[in-house]
Amino acid sequence: MRQKYAITVADIEMNIICDESQEVVDKAVSELDRQIATLCSSAGHSCTRTEAALLSALDYSTQCMHLRTRVDELQNFVDNADPTGDSYAANLLRGENEILRAELQVQKGTNDALLQDNAALFQLNAKLTKQNAEANARADRMHDQVLSILTEVRELREKLASLCVDTREPSATYTAEEPKPEVELTPEEVALNQKYSQLDVEGVLQDVPKGTVPTPAAEND
């Protein structure tokens, strides 16, 4: 709605009629008045208020020209992106883009979960490897001890035989095997082990692009 305003620019009072609000008019008048005052008070310039107003108008005209050029460039960009002007197709593309973004977020969450499981599996593998190594070392020590005892028994039997002393056969405990040590796992490790026990790891790795499979860092001794 067009309204009438009384304004003062560079001490010149005038009435204008425009469609702008009071706030916009006051802001424009204040900015123009400030620029005219600056031009008139600049050192080394003998500029009248009329000349300052013309220079300000020239400056604003130049800015408007640059803005129109920029608007035309943006409009050309939009037209080239959608030369048919089909807003319906553009909305469909935007909708499809949002769907793809949502799917990407879901895949990202799945990938983060797999990375966490992968880290847990590496820790579980390291734990099992350590326990297996300790069990093997223990078995080797016991094997050496049993061999040493059997050697001593055989030597004693030979000595007793040479003295014509009857001896009995070694008891069954000499050949009994020590039970295999049980690996203690937490409930979380048991669930994770069951989850991936039937997973075709080699098939999964073949489908993964090269260079994307993380390599676990070597454990410090």
Predicted confidence (pLDDT) per residue in 8-63, tens digit: 888 888 888 888 888 988 998 888 888 888 888 876 666 788 888 888 888 888 88
The DSSP call for residue 215 is P
If residue 9 lies in a helix (H) or strand (E), which one and from where to where?
strand 3-9
In degrees, rounded to 5, the angle at the alpha carbon of residue 195 between the alpha carbons of residues 192 and 201 is 105
Say yes or no to pLDDT of 78 above 80: no
Strand, helix or coil at 200?
Answer: coil
pLDDT averaged over the chain? 76
Bridge partners, 5 (sequence order): 16
pTM: 0.35
Q: What is the pLDDT of residue 218?
A: 45
- Tokens encoding 103: 């799917």
